[in-house]
Each structure stands twice: as structure tokens, then as C-alpha cells.
Structure 1
Amino acid sequence: MTLQPEIMQSVEQLGYRVTVGDVAAKSGLDINLAQRGLLALASDVSGHLQVAESGDIIYLFPDNFRTILRNKYWKLQLKETWEKIWKVLFYIIRISFGIVLVASIILMLIAITVIIIGLNSSRDGNSNNSGSRGGSYRGGGFFFFPNFGDLFWIFYPNYGYNRYDHSSSRRSQSRDANEMNFLEAVFSFLFGDGNPNYNLEERRWKAIGTVIKNNKGSIIAEQVAPYLDNIDRYNKENEDYILPVLTRFNGNPEVSPNGELIYHFPELQVTVQESTQKSISTYLRERLYKFSEAGSNKIMLAIGLGALNFILALILGSFLKDPSIVAQFRGFIAFINSIYWLLLGYAMAFLGVPLIRYFVVQMRNGKIESRNSERKGRTELLQDKTETIQHKLEYASQFANQAIIQQSDIAYTTEKDVLEQEIEQADKIDQEWQKRLDALDN
């Protein structure tokens, strides 16, 4: 059986001595899956089972069970190695989009500069040879193409160099240590930062498990309704929506004398340490998508460079439309001409993808806010505490219980030999037999 990371994390967080109910409530896993996972983990790391006099089972694990697993299974070692490699590879992928943007700008600036200088030199040479009035163009090479000369001058690579360098220095001094760098910000600007609710189901079941634990294993449906999404007008009244909760945590429905349903979860009532009330949100709140986690200054810089890249692509395209220019310069310009459509496509996508994504984010956030509003609305039933709700809560409290298994309650453990345990518990065994004899005499 594949070991569940959630189970291993729960075992560590609970102090390496757990019950099935503890792990199921902590991780939000199906209780049967938690039981099978604990058995598999105990088997793999030579863990121990402790049986209480009540028949409940406690799982005891060594503190270094992760090291034992790594030494035992090459697959786990390979997985951990691959995760480290993938982390580096993904970082390279993330920064590659910013590198391509900068490289594209530099290539097009060089190409445009080479073309303009070459054309001006050629025109000056022709003017000198013919002795015509073309000499009036000397020193004014950038105005040979009046439609683009001003734009080229504005975006000349040395224009405002000191100003940009100085502002960059200020930004680097004030930048928070945890803030992403510019190359990472470009990826964030293009594609965002992933799904903020990637672990929504995990959060949902952890929250429900905590609610059950906080109420000592006995609840009413309205207490978990704010964490569920499978509620509609058809199952709201008959409480069918709680069936997945009962299945996952092995719960049982109980009917009150008034015909009202409450639910209790015996296996979540057994623990090895006293449970305290844990703070929890009153409803499951989905996180809204952000357009980007990057700072506003980096977003503006990405937009500015993206716009510059697009304008340079248009300027370069106006030159490359003339086949004679490509034929005249060959070499580097011929190479740029061969990849021009890639440069233009990247420039268009760099501005187009975030624009489309902006509207997608707005649409997604609208749906998320609607679902959050529905869940929040279900908390009002508990807050109002109508007479029906009050009766159900009172009846549920009758089933609330917390069975804490102490070390003195252990009847058997796999840590020691059976004979050794019988010797240690000789007095307890004698007392048990004496109770049975007294019961027979009476």
C-alpha cells in the first residue's frame, strides 16, 4: 500500500502516539483509509500496537520513522531526489520567460540599430559619390525614416540609462527578502501564481474533523453545513448532504425523541491525549485569485518592457518588409528575419495572455464569492439557535464523550514479550480474577 503523506504528517504532529480517530480528524482522511495507512506505516517502520482494556488500539511510532522509510525504500529516495530536481527545473522554467523577454528586446534593438546605421551609411556613400543635395542628411541619420525615427530615439538602449539604474538600485535596497525577483515576477504577470484553493478538499475535511473533535464526537448537521458544497434545496431538509461525512469518519445517526437527527462518531471520541477546543473558521472560505503576487512596481516594469517589446517588433517588421534590406545585410539580420514571427508572436502573447487572464480571474472570483456567501449564510442557522436547533444540540450533547487512553489502561503492547507483560501485570490479572470470583459468589 502506498504510504499517505497526510498520515505521516499527522503522526509527527500528534507526537508519534496516535489512534485512528486522532489521525482521521487531524488529516481529514477517510477513517478506513487512515486505519489501513497506520497499519501499513507501522509495519514498514517497525511500529508498535498498544491495546487498551477497552479494546481500543493505539499506534506507537519511532521518532525517526521517516529516516527508516528512506533507508528501506529506494522509491522514496528517488521521489525526494526528483522533487528537489523538479524544484530547480521549475524555477528555471519560471525565470525563462523573463529572460526571453529581455533577450527579445536586446536582439531587436541591435537589429534595428544595425539596419539604421547601415542604411544611413549606404545613403551617405551614395550622396558623396553623386555630389547631390543628399549631403543635407549628414548627422541626421535617425530622420531618414520619419515615421519611426522618433520612436527609435525614445527607445534607444542608452536613453535614460542612469535614471533606470538608479531606480533599480533603490528598489533592490527596499525590496523585502521574501519578494520575488523580476524574472519570477514576469512569470507571475503572465500566468499568475497557481490555484489558491489547490488544497480546498484537504482544508474542508480537516475543518470538519476539527468540528467533530471540538464537540467531542457528537454533532448536528447544521454544524458542518458551512463546510460543505453538496447542499441544495432537495437535500437540505432531509440532511442527505451529511452522508459523505458519516462515510468518511464512520459516523452513526441517532434519532431524538422528537424525531430529530444527530450524528456521533465513536472512533473520533477515542484519543491518547486530552483534546482542547481548537479555533476554526465558522465556514469554509475559498481564497480569491490574485492577478499576481508580484509587487506593483515589478508588474508595471513588466508591462512597460512588454509594450516596448511589442513596439520594437512593429518597428523591426516595418524594416524587414523590404526584401532588399534583408538581402543587403544578410548574416545577423537574415537570422532575425527567420525568427521574426516568433519574436512578434511572443510580443503579442506577452500582453495578450495577461489581459485575457485578468477577465478570467474576475469571473472566477465572482463564483468564489458566491460560494463563500452561501456557506456563510448557513452559519446563521446556528447563530440564531432556533428552538429546533437548541433541542438537537441538547440531544447531541448526550452522546458527546472523550475517552482518553492512559498508559495505565494498556492491556497489551507489541513492544514487549507476552510473558514479560504477564509478569509485569500479575497484580492486575489477579485483581481481575478476584473480581470475577466475587461476581460468581454473588
Structure 2
Amino acid sequence: MASIATCFTLPPKPHPRLISKPSLFPIRPSTSPPLPPFSTRLRHSRPSLTLARAGLDALTGIKPGAAVESDKLPSDVRKRTMDAVDACGGRVTVGDVSSRAGLKLNQAQNALQALAADTEGFLEVSDEGDVLYVFPKDYRAKLLGKSFRMRIEPVLDKAKAGTEYVARVSFGTALIASIVLVYTAIIVALSSSRSEDDNRGRRGRSYDSGFTFYMSPVDLFWFWDPYYYRRRRVQSEDSKLKFIESIFSFVFGDGDPNQGIEEERWKLIGKYITSKGGVVAAEELAPYLDLKGGTMDDETYILPVLLRYEGEPVIDEEGNILYQFPSLQRTASSQRSGRKEYVGRRWADFVVGVDKFFSEKKWQFSSTSISERALVAGLGGLNLFGVIILGAILKDSTVAPVGFIKFITSIFPLLQIYAGSFFAIPLVRWFIVSKTNADIEKRNRARLKSARALESPDISLRRKLLSARDMAQQTVIGQDKIVYSTDKDLIEQDYEAQDWDRRFREIEKSD
């Protein structure tokens, strides 16, 4: 506990509720005489006034129409932000988007600014200095009409998927092609050798040996038919791989099963913190994090959460260290905070709509069935055996390197590499998968253990959780709290901005 306390001796940082950034709209105070003072709720402390004024000053930067600002965002950040905006009904705070999309606060703010600039969204400022982003219902259509990148992304995604499919099928086709070439070369070489021994002058005319083999290059294309094995074999589900793709799966596996799971982890954490009114104990987040040494003795495991959501430690009346996230306590939509609903209830029953702990998926060696794996391994072994035999034959000086044999000799190193790597890669991968799964199992057990500790907390942990619920708060910013909006008439907006700015300056000077 002492180690975590020493991590927070840094000077206090600015309130994360409103960060001054270049504006979306070129709005400047006019020189017109001010209207009579308007009625606002200016009953707040200097930090809130300063932040609100910073919000007004931030409205003078990005000029809409000059460029598509959303194209400068990473595609993943843009998509997650838009999904969060849709989930919140088009009116959001930075904290709403950060918690729902699992983004860092600065990422969420930059994305919201860019989207608002491109889609004719506008800002609202509350009497406490909170900034809300409001988007029109058709903002996606407006953005799609401006952004060439968004229009081309679906095409690129399909092209990427097609390329991956071609790679998988090509590797499987290469095994069939290798077997055909290797055993054809063996037959040709043996026939040529017998012809030399018989001294019949038919060197290189192996087709007279009594064996006839013909395969048109077109015949390989049936391997490329995505629906071939679906027609030839009755499959109950599409989850079964086609045989040619199962060859690639056997050698290289099926990719990371936890791809994109970090995004889900941060969504869970953000959703949990928000549902608890922005104040939590470290033990509450342990089921979602990677615990150092698998225990909760050292609370440094919560540092990544504090950095992402700009949280800060607070001390309750009993001396317990809790963690507050001010930006996640301000929302544009009503959400349950669960302040005192915990009393007399199990933690498992109390958590609503959030998974009890974060679980990683284990890696599979291959998604193929046992019979498919045996067939693939058998073909690979047949190919490896043929390459070994062909290598011994090619070392025989009596075999003349002409025609087809000359071609096979030139590509023989590639055939050897393919045959050897067909088993070397899966062997190495098996050890890696085993070690990775052991680590995943260890982390999952630690998170499950911490989740079970919360289901039946001891007296000290229970008092700590109750204290966190008592300190929790959530401010829903409704229309009644809005004192400034960039969506208003320009003249009215200039007057109000000028009067508001004057009032802020007067109050700041009086301090």
C-alpha cells in the first residue's frame, strides 16, 4: 500500500473535465455593445469558471471545410468513437465516449473535435464548465459524403480479406503441387535411369515406360473454389475449414484469438467505473487487470487505469485509498451510479450489465478436426519422404539433368525448404502455444480469484466498498444546465460570449 502512495506525490494536474484545444468553429466576440446581464448560475468556484472560459477560448481553431479532419484519425479510433456517440444518442461528453469506447481521454476529445468539425456538430457548455458535443442524426451520412477514405475502407477491407484467403489457399495448393512435382520427378528419373541401363537410346522418353501421367494446370483450380468442399462434404457449420485452408491452419495456426480484446477490456473497465459513480477501490478493478505476481497486495496494477482515464487517489475518513475519475462522473445521459445499492447485497448481484471479470481466450494449435490434422500431416509426411528420395536420386550421376529433371533440380532447394518447414514451424509453434496458454491460464486464475473475493468480501473490504459508494457521484448534464451553445444565432451568440467573458474576468480579478 505504501508503494502506491509514493507514486502520487506529483503536483496536481489541471482538471481533466475540460482541456483547452483548438476550436472547431471560428467564433470570436463581437465589438457590439453587450446586452443586459443574462441570468446564469455563476455560483461556482474559480476552477470551474476558468475551465468554462477555457472552453470558450477553445472555440477558435479548426476551420471546417478546409480538410476532412476525421481522415487524420486512426480508423479504429474513429469507428469506436462513432459507435459510442450512437450509443449515447448523439449528445456526449468526453468521459462518455472514453468510457464506452475504451479510449484515452485525449483520444476521445481529439476524435470528437474532428467529427464535429466534419459533420456540422456543435458544442454546448454547462454552467460548471463542462463541454458537450452534439451531433445531428445524419452525421454519419454527412461524414461519408465528405470522406473518400471512409468510402474506400470497405473496399480495402474486402481486398485484405481476399488476399488472406488467397494466401491460405496458395499454401495448401503448394503442398499438392509439391507432391505432384516430386513424385513425377522420381518416376521420370527412375525411368531415365533404366533407359540408360538398357542402352535403348530412349534417354529422357519416360512416357514409354508403361506409366502415363497427365495433369493439366487447370486441374489445380478446383482447389481454389471456396465452395468445392462445401459441395463435396456435408458440413454442419461453416466453422469447419475447407481442406486446403486446413493445411495453412495446421502449419501457421488461426491467428490470435484475443485480437481486439484489449479494446473490450478497457470498455469493461470504463463501463464499470461509470456505473459506480466514478469512485472505486483497487480491488474492484483487479478482476479486469493483470495482477503483478497474481496477488492484490501491490496496487500498482491500477496505474494504467489512472493514466488512461486521468484518475487520482483519494483518502476516505477511515484512511482507505480509493480512486476517483472526475471525467467519468460527468455524463450527458442518465446512468445508474449505484451509490448505496450495495448495502446488504452480494457483489455478484450488485454488478449489472458488466462482466464479473475479464477472461482471455486460450490459443488453439489449429481449429481443424483430428481427422483433418491426421490427413494433413500424412500428406506432409508423404511430401517430405518424396523430397528425401528425390534428393538421393538427384545425387546419382547417372541421371542426366535435362528437360523436366533440370527444372526440378533448379527448384529443389525450395521443395526442401517447404517440406522441412511444414513440420518445423508447427513444432516450434506448439511450444510457443503451450507457454502462452500457461501464462493466460495463470492470469485468468488470478482475475477469477479476485472476482470471487468481491463476491463475499471480508469486513475491511466491505467497509472500503461502502465508502467508495458513499463518495460516488454522477452529474447528468441536461439542457437546463447549458448556458452556451455554438448552435445559436451568431449575433445572440456573440453578445452572450462577450458578456460571459466579461463576467469571468471580473470574478477572476476579485479573487
- Normalized against structure 2, the TM-score is what? 0.67
Q: Distance in 1 between matches of 2:305 and 2:194?
A: 78
Alignment equivalent of 2:434, drawn from 362, 369, 378:
362
CA contact (8 A) 2:312 2:323 kept: yes
- Map 1:11-30; keep pairs closer than 5 Å: 11-30=85-104
Paired residue secondary structure (1:26): helix
Post-superposition shift, 1:101? 0.8
Deviations 1:270-318 (A, max 9, x none): 3233335653332222211100123333322221211111111122223
CA contact (8 A) 1:326 1:337 kept: no
Paired residue secondary structure (1:173): coil
CA contact (8 A) 1:24 1:249 kept: yes
Residue of structure 1 in register with 2:330 after alignment = 270
Alignment equivalent of 2:316, drawn from 247, 256, 259:
256
Residue of structure 1 in register with 2:242 after alignment = 181
Residue of structure 1 in register with 2:468 after alignment = 396
Length, aligned pairs only = 388
Residue of structure 2 in register with 1:193 after alignment = 254
- Map 1:35-434; keep pairs closer than 5 Å: 35-76=109-150, 81-120=155-194, 172-174=233-235, 176-229=237-290, 231=292, 237=297, 239-275=299-335, 278-327=352-401, 330-417=402-489
* Structure whose residues are more often helix by fraction: 1
Q: 1:169 to 1:22 in 2, by over 3 A?
A: closer
Post-superposition shift, 1:409? 4.5
Residue of structure 1 in register with 2:10 after alignment = none
CA contact (8 A) 1:120 1:141 kept: no
Q: Distance in 2 between matches of 1:367 and 1:251?
A: 29
| Gaps in structure 2 of 5+ consecutive residues | 1-68, 202-208, 216-228, 337-350, 495-511
CA contact (8 A) 2:281 2:322 kept: yes
Post-superposition shift, 1:232? 5.3
Q: Distance in 1 between matches of 2:378 and 2:185?
A: 20
AA of the residue aligned to 1:72 = K
Higher deviation after alignment, 390-399 or 172-181: 172-181
Q: Distance in 2 between matches of 1:345 and 1:243?
A: 47
Q: Distance in 2 between matches of 1:169 and 1:224?
A: 46
Paired residue secondary structure (2:233): helix
Is 1:31 matched with 2:105? yes
CA contact (8 A) 2:283 2:296 kept: no
Residue of structure 2 in register with 1:164 after alignment = none
AA of the residue aligned to 1:244 = P
Post-superposition shift, 1:87? 2.8
CA contact (8 A) 1:10 1:27 kept: yes
Paired residue secondary structure (1:376): helix
Higher deviation after alignment, 253-262 or 401-410: 401-410
Post-superposition shift, 1:357? 1.1
* Structure (1 or 2) with the larger CA radius of gyration: 1
RMSD: 3.4
| Gaps in structure 1 of 5+ consecutive residues | 128-139, 143-155, 158-167, 423-442
Q: 1:238 to 1:290 in 2, by over 3 A?
A: closer
Higher deviation after alignment, 67-76 or 38-47: 67-76
Q: 1:241 to 1:115 in 2, by over 3 A?
A: closer
Post-superposition shift, 1:354? 0.8
Deviations 1:383-435 (A, max 9, x none): 3312211211121112223333344544443333166799xxxxxxxxxxxxx
Q: 1:73 to 1:32 in 2, by over 3 A?
A: same
Q: Distance in 1 between matches of 2:471 and 2:109?
A: 23
Q: Distance in 2 between matches of 1:319 and 1:238?
A: 66
Q: Distance in 1 between matches of 2:198 and 2:300?
A: 87
Post-superposition shift, 1:22? 1.2
AA of the residue aligned to 2:237 = D
Higher deviation after alignment, 346-355 or 42-51: 42-51
Paired residue secondary structure (2:355): coil
CA contact (8 A) 2:122 2:135 kept: yes
Q: 1:237 to 1:307 in 2, by over 3 A?
A: closer
Q: Distance in 2 between matches of 1:243 and 1:170?
A: 54
Q: Distance in 2 between matches of 1:170 and 1:78?
A: 33
Q: 1:316 to 1:240 in 2, by over 3 A?
A: closer
Paired residue secondary structure (1:254): strand
CA contact (8 A) 1:50 1:59 kept: yes
Post-superposition shift, 1:64? 4.2
Post-superposition shift, 1:122? 5.5
CA contact (8 A) 1:196 1:287 kept: yes
Post-superposition shift, 1:368? 1.5
Identity percentage of aligned residues? 39
Q: Distance in 2 between matches of 1:261 and 1:21?
A: 23
Post-superposition shift, 1:367? 1.5
CA contact (8 A) 2:258 2:360 kept: yes
Q: 1:340 to 1:175 in 2, by over 3 A?
A: farther
Deviations 1:39-59 (A, max 9, x none): 222123221223344543321
Q: Distance in 1 between matches of 2:97 and 2:195?
A: 78
Q: Distance in 1 between matches of 2:317 and 2:134?
A: 41
Paired residue secondary structure (1:262): strand
AA of the residue aligned to 2:374 = M
